[in-house]
Amino acid sequence: MKQEEDEHDEHYGEEEEKESENEEEDGGEVGEEENGDEQNNNKDAEMEELEKEYMNLRHQEQDILKNLKGHKDEDLLKGQAVKDQKALWDKAPEFRFLLQKAFSSSHGLPQEPVRSLFCDSHEGVNAAYSDLVDSSRELWTH
């Protein structure tokens, strides 16, 4: 009988060990699940932070692009203004040469007392000479 009791105790002890192992495994699974939830929460938090950072970078990039496009338009206007200014400066000597010819020719007009004789000889000559003098004065004053 003693042997049967020992076998029964051994068998019963084995069952208890198996149950405690199962409980440990179940408890371990619960602990693992909690660990997994924490890890998922951490990953979710990291993901949210990364998404926020990504959106911030994206907004910064868009702001920079808008800024560059704005500068592009300003640069185009400045470039056109410089181009126009250069054209004016290129034309200035040409105008000077044309005016120089006209002024040099006007110096060849008769001076007093010949001018009075010349202008008095015909009324049309006097009017033309007066217009020429007035035009010359306007050019010099502007």
* 126 within a domain of the structure (yes/no): no
The answer on pLDDT for 129 being more than 70 is yes
Query: Which of the pair, 15 or 140, is modelled with greater confidence?
Result: 140
* 37 within a domain of the structure (yes/no): yes
* 61 within a domain of the structure (yes/no): yes
* 71 within a domain of the structure (yes/no): yes
Over residues 28-52, mean pLDDT: 76
The answer on pLDDT for 12 being more than 70 is no
Domain encompassing residue 38? 2-91
* 11 within a domain of the structure (yes/no): yes
Helix (H), strand (E), coil (C) string for the chain: CHHHHHHHHHHHHHHHHHHHHHHHHHHHHHHHHHHHHHHHHHHHHHHHHHHHHHHHHHHHHHHHHHHHHHHHHHHHHHHHHHHHHHHHHHHHHHHHHHHHHHHHHHHCCCCCCHHHHHHHHCHHHHHHHHHHHHHHHHHHHC
* 110 within a domain of the structure (yes/no): no
pLDDT of the residue at 53: 93
pLDDT of the residue at 27: 47
pTM of the model: 0.33
* 138 within a domain of the structure (yes/no): no
- Over the chain, what is the mean pLDDT? 76
**Local confidence band at 51 (pLDDT 50, 70, 90 cut-offs):** very high
**Local confidence band at 102 (pLDDT 50, 70, 90 cut-offs):** confident
User: 53-100, pLDDT tens digit by residue?
Assistant: 999 999 999 988 888 777 788 888 999 999 999 999 998 888 888 888
What's the domain count of the chain? 1
- Could you tell me what percent of the chain has a pLDDT over 90? 18
* 129 within a domain of the structure (yes/no): no
